[in-house]
Amino acid sequence: MAFHLLAKPAGAVCNLDCSYCFFLSKEMLYPGSRFRMADEMLEAYIRQLIEAHSQVPEVMIAWQGGEPTLMGVDFFRRSIEYVERFRRPGMTVEYTIQTNGTLIDDEFAAFFKANDFLVGISIDGPPGMHDAYRVDRGGAPTSDRVLKGLGALKRHGVEFNVLTTLHRANADHPFEVYRYLRDEVGTRFMQFIPIIERLPAPTFDVPLEQLELSPGLAQKAPWKSWRERPLYRQEGSLVTDRSVTAEQYGYPLTSIAGGTLARGDTEGEEGRPKGDSEGVQAAGLEEDAHAAEAHPEDCGHRKAQGTESPATVAPIPAVAPIPASEVPEDHDDHEPRERDDHNPEVDAEP
């Protein structure tokens, strides 16, 4: 029986510090760890994964994080060597990686091309929207570095797609995000996942029951970095002001997929966005790290570097408290779309 497994060779470690990331704080679960897959473990992992697919003709080697490119290109070269050692004659092996793109250079891109990697890159839209929450560990914006990495992928002809998280900074601007990814980035497959960032307790100075909520409220996030919060456990019935509402998540997806510009943003015939149709995929309501990541989750059009001014962030509507029993658990499974197109898609009309 075939199955799909994501490996995180650097664990929860990442060179970015995205404000909404739920996964980075999991470093706390492994005090003293180097967060690097040892060579012995790499060999055993590849061997066992291939052996477990002994009854099927193909296997997928999928890497995610944290940020997997922190392992360096030689780590992935060794993984290919182990695949060639253990694969059966006639077995097809496909490679995917989800990355934030900031560490991709020509050496990485040439390696990805030579081994036919499908690369998923995380970008949240034009630089002003992307940099609202996707910052490095010094708090600096990252869009220029992502674009530089995508430039390397494009120069070497590497297949890539985009993972975008929807949050306060971009959810009210669906067509600006969509057109940027379609026209500037040049991607032909997009995945959108919502940021729903739970709070374990109200951040009010008075008890929640004494407040007049209408009918609820999104709370100002008490942290910008994972270092400022305890281990994220997906607890609590409130959400942060970085989170999207159901309407904010649904509007971009239904508008893009149906070509209906309901808020007066008309372009082209019959109010539909211009251009070729793209694959648009929506994930379920889940908290995201790399989006991590997926960081995991893009773009790469060089003329777009640094040209946009910061996006105006629309006020987020009031959010009703969510009963804990109704909030779905996180599924940390965001990754590049498989080439066999098993994942459901909604094709946007031109």
325 compared with 35, residue with greater pLDDT: 35
Residue 288 has pLDDT above 60, yes or no: no
Residue 26: per-residue pLDDT: 64
pLDDT band at 256 (very low <50, low <70, confident <90, very high): confident
pLDDT band at 127 (very low <50, low <70, confident <90, very high): very high
93 compared with 329, residue with greater pLDDT: 93
> Cβ of 246: how many Cβ atoms within 10 Å?
12
Residue 284 has pLDDT above 50, yes or no: no
- Which CATH code is given to the segment(s) 6-347? 3.20.20
Residue 296 has pLDDT above 70, yes or no: no
Residue 218 has pLDDT above 70, yes or no: no
Helix (H) or strand (E) run with residue 119 in it: strand 117-122
pLDDT band at 321 (very low <50, low <70, confident <90, very high): very low
pLDDT band at 108 (very low <50, low <70, confident <90, very high): very high
Cα separation, 127 vs 216, whole angstroms? 31
Cα separation, 203 vs 323, whole angstroms? 17
325 compared with 346, residue with greater pLDDT: 325
206 compared with 244, residue with greater pLDDT: 244
Q: What residue has token string 């799909």?
A: 4
Cα separation, 222 vs 201, whole angstroms? 11
Share of the chain above pLDDT 90, in %: 45
Kindly report, residue by residue over 41-86, the tens digit of the pLDDT. 999 999 999 999 999 999 999 999 889 999 999 999 999 999 999 9
343 compared with 162, residue with greater pLDDT: 162
CA dihedral of 128, 191, 328, 134, whole degrees rounded to 10 = -30
Residue 300: per-residue pLDDT: 29
Residue 149 has pLDDT above 90, yes or no: yes
For residue 59, what are the CA distances in angstroms to 49, 54, 208, 272, 312? Answer: 8, 9, 51, 40, 44
CA 111 vs. chain centroid, Å, equals: 22
| 85-89, 247-251, 317-321: segment of lowest average pLDDT | 317-321
For residue 33, give both structure tokens: 């760890």
Rg (Cα) of the chain, in Å, rounded?
A: 20
pLDDT band at 249 (very low <50, low <70, confident <90, very high): confident
In 3D space, the residue among 35, 6, 22, 66 whose CA is nearest the CA of residue 233 turns out to be 22
Q: For all residues of the chain together, what is the average pLDDT?
A: 74
> Which amino acid makes up residue 163?
L
Domain boundaries, the chain: 6-347
For residue 108, give both structure tokens: 């990485």
Average pLDDT score over residue span 197-216: 52
Q: What residue has token string 């199955």?
A: 3
Among the ranges 122-126, 200-204, 343-347, which has the highest mean pLDDT value?
A: 122-126
Kindly report, residue by residue over 185-200, the tens digit of the pLDDT. 999 999 999 998 887 6
29 compared with 78, residue with greater pLDDT: 78
In 3D space, the residue among 13, 27, 115 whose CA is nearest the CA of residue 69 turns out to be 13
Any bridge partners for residue 163, and if so which?
A: 122, 191
The per-residue DSSP string of 292-337 comes to ----------GGGTTTSPPPP-PPPPP-PPPPGGGSPPP-----PP
Burial zone of 345 (CB within 10 Å; 0-12 exposed, 13-18 middle, 19+ buried): middle
> Which amino acid makes up residue 30?
Y
Q: Strand, coil or helix: what is 272?
A: coil
Residue 221 has pLDDT above 70, yes or no: no
Cα separation, 262 vs 255, whole angstroms? 7
CA 280 vs. chain centroid, Å, equals: 14
Residue 12 has pLDDT above 70, yes or no: yes
Q: What angle do CA 88, 91, 97 make, to 5 degrees?
A: 115
Q: What angle do CA 278, 280, 283 make, to 5 degrees?
A: 165
